[in-house]
Structure 1
Amino acid sequence: MILDAAAVKATVVLAEVQVKPDDSKAPGINALKDLVNGLAAYAVIAAVAAVLLGGIAWALGERMGLERASMVGKSGVIAGFGLAFLVGAAAAFVNFFLATGATATAPDPNPAGQRQPAVELTVAVDPGVVHDPSSTLF
């Protein structure tokens, strides 16, 4: 005779949490937006400076035969372009991931409506048993 095993499990039911950004609910949001836009402006100016200074170092390094200065200049130009790309694409990336995350749902804990197994097998490892490496099969 197989009996259903009754196991006491603590189940914590939380209220469904939803996150929907709403500008009207955040005090001081306009000041924060102005701050972020100001930081973006500084970052764009820094990107232009990096491209200009890197280009100068690259050109002078090539012209004078200074390989190290040329490499640093190339890195500066690439870093400036990368910074400008990130500043321009930051809002698009954040909005993309926000929209993607908003579509995520929690998985159903019991998708097929299956009941719990009647018998659960638990394997205990005896810590007193040690494998002897000298006893091999070959």
Structure 2
Amino acid sequence: MIVHTATAQVTVVLAQVQVKPDDSKAPGINALKDLVNGLAAYAVIAAVAAVLLGGIAWALGERMGLDRASTIGKSGVLAGFGLAFLVGAAAAVVNFFLATGATASSGTPDQPKALDRPAVVRTLDPGDHDQTPPPWPF
């Protein structure tokens, strides 16, 4: 006995959507860029202030034996460095993920991946009914 399997393929074609950022198509883009650059400047100034104030608190806390002030000063210095790193790396990280996302693909709809052949094919001879079937997998 030969078992035949048939697979049905349904292809749904939707409109292809493409996203390509273009500065010339966005009204007010220059004002938005200026706003983001201004926020980045404020963040860099805040990072410098955090490093300076944290350093002062750390030094005075160590000098005066105030462990809590010293710990808070260390945290302030680390937070200032972290903020400066985030401001500097933000554009590079966003551009990396934008470029990576642009290369993503959903595959081609005319080549099915899992439905092209049956998973298991077993041919039985009609005279083999008295034998036990082989153990799994076939």
Give TM-score, length-normalised by structure 2: 0.73
Q: What residue is the counterpart of 2:73 in the other structure?
A: 73
Q: What residue is the counterpart of 1:17 in the other structure?
A: 17
CA RMSD of aligned residues (A): 2.6
Aligned length: 118
Cα distance change, pair 3–111 in 1 and its aligned pair in 2 (3 A): closer
Stretches of structure 1 that go unaligned for 5 or more consecutive residues are 118-138
Q: What residue is the counterpart of 1:87 in the other structure?
A: 87
Cα distance in 2 for partners of 1:3, 1:111 equals 19
Q: What residue is the counterpart of 2:44 in the other structure?
A: 44
Q: What residue is the counterpart of 1:96 in the other structure?
A: 96
Cα distance in 2 for partners of 1:16, 1:76 equals 49
* Structure with more relative contact order (C-alpha pairs < 8 Å, separation 6 or more): 2
Moved over 2 A (4+): 1-7, 9-13, 107-117
Give TM-score, length-normalised by structure 1: 0.73
Are the equivalent residues in 1 in contact too, given 2:7–2:116 (CA < 8 A)? Answer: no
Letter in 1 for 2:71: M
C-alpha displacement of 1:115: 4.7
Stretches of structure 2 that go unaligned for 5 or more consecutive residues are 119-138
Cα distance in 1 for partners of 2:41, 2:102 equals 29
The sequence identity of aligned pairs, in percent, is 80
Are the equivalent residues in 1 in contact too, given 2:7–2:115 (CA < 8 A)? Answer: no
Q: What residue is the counterpart of 1:133 in the other structure?
A: none
Cα distance in 2 for partners of 1:44, 1:113 equals 52
